[in-house]
């Protein structure tokens, strides 16, 4: 039976990427060696790294002056690297709190300086994105989280500020058109839209670095990683290569404009059903709904067993909601086909027929 | 033509491991999903992680009281994590300097406290391991590097100390029998004997942690990683899985005692040739020679072109020496078959015949 994998991450990748990735483990580009047994200093892997970095710049339509890095440690290590690299000694940072991941981010910043959480939606279990806030003016940078996987919310607007604007885009990078040049630093764990777990994308404007007066440990220093072309030490070769393949796939299907259209179509199919079907209700506020993670609950919890049987029988997996929200979460990242979303909608409609018959 | 890959790392892995790794990228354990698209919180991957950790304990014959972690960032991030977790506020650390990697390690420790480099072999481009040193008594820990890839040296004895003993075993873990319980903390990047680049093994005695009086950032705190079973954030799923496969392979062929015998046999074949063949000389002092990285030079550099042609024609790759040492480096990690070592020796003998005919 065909599987429909709605996992929140690590998550579905395009079949063609999986095929090429598997081949590379046996024989990389026909060189007679496995990708995972060659030196990262050899010309074969250097080409992979350079190609991946240049595809990121192209897909995000970045102007000159940005560096692209593939690091390790996930967004969680970036929570520490961001203040290490941007928070001046004696300085202050501003954080927009839209969920657990934002909170984890500012917890690390607090180790290095003062943090101003200038708006939060914690009062309603983060089911909306704060608006009409005043962005602090006396800070070194403003930190945001563009998409909140657990709650299914997504920022449609970003803070207007003349300070450095930082964004954790782990769960929606490459999914929608944005003016990426409004950001001074973007970071994202690979394991949603970009590739397998194990590498972290960092896009940073060069001119903002080296200005904190802080001594930065080598591995936490963006400038050191930039000076070494993301190879300060051995990079995560396989995750970087599979990310490169996924970036190539994104380009081949038309880049972010084409991907955004597909994502909007997929999201419409499931959100329309949530709003139409009397047995379900959405979790996130409508205006803040995410195109990536669709959170919804049963109106009547007693239908849980019947619904779980239906989607499970249809080959669906990974839609259990996060424990802090309950219910269901359908993650519909870039590589998710609309056909799989339709299968889920079919299961929702079958439940309706069962219950109302 | 069969390839003989002597790369210093990332390096050769067993063929059976590569086969299973490739299969898992398409269909992991027959579940109909790729390993790299499933949730790390699902039972399938949790089993992988638990199996990998328990295999490490078994192969290293560790007593109770040790935790095993699979982290990210390579040994280079451990250079920072070690002092963060073991160096007391106002404390001191001792480092044995046996090469560039030791030096990089104590550079990070210096950011957090006083460092005593109690012995160094830098005076002779690290071609020997210092001995007859006095281990400082007024330190929190003593740091060593068990094998020095660039120079081809290996520690046969470790410092005797009642302080915490730390060892970077990136390039020789699982290659020889040692009393691993003499160490309080062992770390190793995966990409030599354990798996692909992208995960770092840490083995740590639980009771030594939490005693520095230091506030430790979340991702740098071993106790946090232990409390979360190496899943404080998304682990490097593929590198951890392939490491598990390699650990299974090591167990299946008889564990470290059997591997050590094979490694000794392989090393004897090439070192004997270096010592016999008048055209070559070894770089490292004989008593400190590594079983993993064999460094040697031509006595007469004018034979370089002829020798390079010979090994290249034989399908050999990855034996160029590090720029700081020159000459050649044959890395003969666990998965390297003795047949490949013999091919290299054949090339050395062919050169002898050419030059002396």
Nearest-Cα distance to chain B for A356, in Å, is 34
Structure tokens at B160: 């005797």
The answer to whether residue A233 neighbours chain B at the CB level (below 8 Å) is yes
Mean predicted confidence (pLDDT) in A32-41: 93
* B172 part of the active site: no
Closest CA to A341 of A255, A272, A258, A247: A272
Residue A231 has a pLDDT of 94
CB B167 within 8 A of CB B183: yes
Tokens standing for A138?
Answer: 């006396």
CA distance, residue B108 to nearest chain A CA (Å): 6
Give the residue from B201, B246, B169, B237 showing the smallest Cα distance to B69.
B201
pLDDT score for B307? 98
Residues within 8 A of A (CB atoms), B 60-119 only: 72-77, 79-80, 104, 107-108, 111
Beta bridge partners of A185: A166, A204
Chain B residues in contact with A104 by the CB 8 A cut-off are: 218
CA distance A288 to chain B (A): 26
Average pLDDT, integer, range A176-190:
98
The answer to whether the CB atoms of A73 and B76 lie below 8 A apart is no
Report the SS3 class of residue A91: coil
In this complex, is the C-beta atom of A181 within 8 Å of any C-beta atom belonging to chain B?
no
Closest by Cβ to A238, choosing from B34, B217, B238: B238
Contacts of B220 in chain A (CB under 8 A): 80
Q: Active-site residue among B20, B97, B140, B168?
A: B168
Residues in chain B with CB shorter than 8 Å from the CB of A12 are: 37
Which residue does chain A place closest to B104, by CA atoms? A218
| pLDDT category of residue B195 using cuts at 50, 70 and 90 | very high
B217 with A25: Cβ contact below 8 A: no
Element (H, E) at B305: helix B304-313
The span from the CA of B42 to the CA of B59, in Å, is 26
B37: nearest CB among A7, A36, A219: A7
CB B112 within 8 A of CB A272: no
Cα–Cα distance for residue pair B108/B73, rounded to 1 Å: 14
Q: How confident is the model at residue B345 (pLDDT cuts 50, 70, 90)?
A: very high
Nearest CB to A5 within list B37, B40, B72: B37
Q: What is the pLDDT of residues B304-324, one digit of tens each?
A: 999 999 999 999 999 999 988
Q: How far apart are CA A173 and CA A170, in angstroms?
A: 6
Cβ within 8 Å of residue B47, ≥6 positions away: none
> Which one-letter DSSP state was computed for residue B157?
S
Confidence of residue B335 (pLDDT cuts 50, 70, 90): very high
Radius of gyration over every alpha carbon of chain A, rounded to an integer in angstroms: 21
Residue B179 per-residue DSSP state: -
Residues of chain A in contact with residue B25, where contact means CB-CB under 8 angstroms, are 18, 21-22, 25
Question: Which pTM does this prediction carry?
Answer: 0.97
Q: Model confidence at B9, in pLDDT bands (50, 70, 90)?
A: confident
d(CA A224, CA A230): 9
Q: What is the mean pLDDT of residues A167-187?
A: 98
pLDDT grade for A48, boundaries at 50, 70 and 90: very high
Residue carrying structure tokens 């424990």: A323
Note whether A34 contacts B23, CB cutoff 8 Å: no
Q: Please compute the mean of the pLDDT values over residues A199-225 and round it to a whole number.
A: 98
pLDDT tier for residue B340 given thresholds of 50, 70 and 90: very high
User: For residue A97, which of A58, A53, A142, A41 has the smallest C-alpha distance?
Assistant: A142
Burial A331-349 (b: 16+ CB within 10 A, else e): bbbbbbebebbebbbebbe
pLDDT digits (tens, 9 = 90+) for B11-64: 899 999 999 999 999 999 999 999 999 999 999 999 999 999 999 999 999 999
Cα angle A190, B239, B181 (rounded to 5 degrees) comes to 130
Q: How far is B276 from chain A (nearest CA, A)?
A: 30
Give the 3-state secondary structure of residue A244. helix
What the block records as the tokens of B285 is 């002092």
The one-character DSSP state at B320 is B
Place of tokens 């000389």: B281
CA distance B202 to B166: 11
CA distances from B155 to A17, B95, B145 (A): 43, 14, 8
- Paired sense of beta strands A141-145 and A164-168, if any: parallel
Distance from CA of B278 to the nearest CA of A (A): 31
Chain A CB contacts of B105 below 8 Å: none
Q: Which of B1, B39, B48 is nearest to B21 (CA)?
A: B48
Tell me the β-bridge partners of A119: A96
Contact A198 B237 (CB under 8 A): yes
What is the CATH number that goes with domain B255-356? 3.90.1150.10
Partners of A75 on chain B (C-beta within 8 Å) are 233
| A210 closest CA partner among A220, A223, A219 | A223
Chain B residues within an 8 Å CB radius of A218: 76, 79-80, 104, 107-108
Residue B204 near residue B287, CB atoms below 8 Å: no
Query: A12 and chain B: CB distance < 8 Å anywhere?
Result: yes
Do B36 and A74 lie within an 8 Å CB cutoff? Answer: no
Minimum CA–CA partner of B112 in chain A: A217
* pLDDT value at residue B134: 97
> Cα angle at B56 between B55 and B60, to 5 degrees?
115
Q: Is some CB atom of chain B closer than 8 A to the CB atom of A40?
A: yes
Cα–Cα distance, A144 to A140 (Å, whole number): 14
Q: Which fold has domain B15-252?
A: 3.40.640
Cβ of residue A337 closer than 8 Å to a chain B Cβ = no
- Rounded Cα distance, A85 and B33, in Å: 39
Contacts of A42 in chain B (CB under 8 A): 7
Q: Summarize the confidence of residues B194-214 as an average pLDDT.
A: 97
Q: Is the Cβ pair B18, A26 closer than 8 Å? A: yes
Of A198, A253, A174, nearest to A16 (Cα)? Answer: A253
pLDDT > 80? residue A1: no
b/e code A85-101 from CB counts within 10 Å (16+ = b) = bbbbeebbbbbbbbbbb
pLDDT, position B118: 98
Q: Looking at CA atoms only, how far is residue B84 from chain A in angstroms?
A: 11
- Split at pLDDT 50, 70, 90, the class of A9 is confident
At B106, the pLDDT band (50, 70, 90 cuts) reads very high
Domain spans of chain B? 15-252, 255-356
Predicted confidence (pLDDT) per residue in A186-206, tens digit: 999 999 999 999 999 999 999
Q: Which position has the token pair 């207007």? A: A160
Nearest to A23 by CA among A320, A238, A260, A287: A238
Helices B100-109 and B74-86: angle between axes, nearest 10 degrees: 40
How many of the other CB atoms lie within 10 Å of CB of B302?
8
Quick: pLDDT tens for A299-336: 999 999 999 999 999 999 999 999 889 999 999 999 99
How far apart, in Å, are the Cα atoms of B216 and each of A89, B211, B222, B224? 18, 11, 9, 10
Stated length of chain A: 357
**pLDDT single digits (tens) A85-137:** 999 999 999 999 999 999 999 999 999 999 999 999 999 999 999 999 999 99
Nearest Cβ partner for B73 among A8, A40, A219: A219
Chain-chain contact of A77 with B219 (C-beta, under 8 angstroms): yes
- The whole-angstrom distance between residue A90's C-alpha and the CA centroid of its chain comes to 31
């Amino acid at each position: 039976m065909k599987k429909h994998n709605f996992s929140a991450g690590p998550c579905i990748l395009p079949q063609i990427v999986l095929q090429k990735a598997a081949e590379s483990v046996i024989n990389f580009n026909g060189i007679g060696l496995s990708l995972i047994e060659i030196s990262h200093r050899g010309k074969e892997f250097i080409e992979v790294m350079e190609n991946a970095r240049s595809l990121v710049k192209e897909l995000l339509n970045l102007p000159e002056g940005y560096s692209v890095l593939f690091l390790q440690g996930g967004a969680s290590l970036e929570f520490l690297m961001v203040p290490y690299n941007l928070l001046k000694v004696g300085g202050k940072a501003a954080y927009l709190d839209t969920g657990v991941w934002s909170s984890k981010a500012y917890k690390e910043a607090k180790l290095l300086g003062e943090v101003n959480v200038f708006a939060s939606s914690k009062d309603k279990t983060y089911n909306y994105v704060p608006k009409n806030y005043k962005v602090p003016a006396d800070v070194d940078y403003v930190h945001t989280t563009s998409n909140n996987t657990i709650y299914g919310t997504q920022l449609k607007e970003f803070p207007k500020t003349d300070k450095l604007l930082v964004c954790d885009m782990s769960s929606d990078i490459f999914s929608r058109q944005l003016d990426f040049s409004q950001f001074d630093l973007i970071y994202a764990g690979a394991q949603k839209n970009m590739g397998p777990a194990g590498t972290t994308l960092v896009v940073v404007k060069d001119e903002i670095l080296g200005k904190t007066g802080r001594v930065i440990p080598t591995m936490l220093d963006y400038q050191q990683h930039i000076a070494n072309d993301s190879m300060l030490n051995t990079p995560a070769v396989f995750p970087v290569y599979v990310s490169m393949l996924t970036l190539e796939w994104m380009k081949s299907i038309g880049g972010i404009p084409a991907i955004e259209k597909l994502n909007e179509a997929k999201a419409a199919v499931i959100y329309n059903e949530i709003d139409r079907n009397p047995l379900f209700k959405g979790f996130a506020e409508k205006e803040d709904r995410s195109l990536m993670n669709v959170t919804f609950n049963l109106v009547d919890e007693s239908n849980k067993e019947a619904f779980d049987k239906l989607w499970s029988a249809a080959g669906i997996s990974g839609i259990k909601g996060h424990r802090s929200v309950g219910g269901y979460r359908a993650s519909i990242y870039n590589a998710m086909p609309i056909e799989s979303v339709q299968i889920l909608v079919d299961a929702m409609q079958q439940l309706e027929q069962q219950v109302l018959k």
